[in-house]
Structure 1
């Protein structure tokens, strides 16, 4: 029988700073495609399969945020151009680039009984922070959201 050695801290975890990209410009079914891509990234990065309820909730929250940001780009910005997921030490940053001129914002006041218009409210509630970045002298924007890594 061979002795077992404990794995060094961080062994088996993907390196911080890793970025995954999915091109979505001009494709049909952008929302389910983005969710499937995000799910596979979460598997690669060790968030799935979830072992604890907190890990499962964190993964489900991230998949919901991906769905909401891509849906928002489909409805209000002529469709998403690209989905990016960036791994940091204690969080994942989700970015959805599009060519739309608008700036997303949660509806205020938020009325839960009103149909539609809940996407950015959901993003705001689930994320540590979110925002919009514009590139000077370029069309479009990137809407980003950051979610905490599960414990």
Structure 2
């Protein structure tokens, strides 16, 4: 029997919005399903929502790249479809990407090390750890949720 593996994941808020482009709660920035043909669309939607809440420059680009890597992993390794949820909480922007794939193999759950120069793949989660303030993983045989967090700039 496979055990569900967990690394400090917080639950995302429940979502009531019927239109994922316009969540009803102002702290919910985006809630949508995605598939193989929508990676670029999701990346642009996330980027636009981050500008709207004041995350700009390299931190915005880094967060968007981390989200892109995680959703690409869903498409390539977890059945091709997932859900992305982006919201504000506690002075940070948070994102969860969820899939219904087979889970992440244990060998990939160790703290990420720098991938070898000629290694094919294996950079998505590593990059997310480099670019985000927090990365969490909850995985098992019925799916995976990757959580990403980036602190918003404080106004002085």
TM-score with structure 2 length normalisation? Answer: 0.68
- The aligned residue for residue 9 of structure 1 is none
Superposed displacement of residue 80, structure 1: 3.2
User: Hey, which of these two has a bigger chunk of strand by percent?
Assistant: 2
Assess, with a 3 A threshold, how the Cα gap between structure 1 residues 114 and 73 changes in structure 2: closer, same or farther: same
More displaced stretch, 81-90 vs 15-24? 15-24
Alignment equivalent of 2:52, drawn from 35, 41, 44 = 44
- The aligned residue for residue 118 of structure 1 is 123
TM-score with structure 1 length normalisation? Answer: 0.70
1:116-149 deviation line (CA, Å, top 9, x unaligned): 22111101111222122369xx932321111222
Alignment length, in residue pairs?
A: 126
- The aligned residue for residue 102 of structure 1 is 103
Q: Relative contact order (C-alpha < 8 Å, sep 6+): which is higher?
A: 2
- C-alpha distance in structure 1 between counterparts of 2:116 and 2:99, whole Å: 27
Which of these two proteins has the greater Rg computed from alpha carbons? 1
Q: Report SS of the residue matched to 2:121.
A: coil
Segments of 5+ residues of structure 2 without an aligned counterpart are 1-24
1:86-124 deviation line (CA, Å, top 9, x unaligned): 212321111111101212536656323423221111011
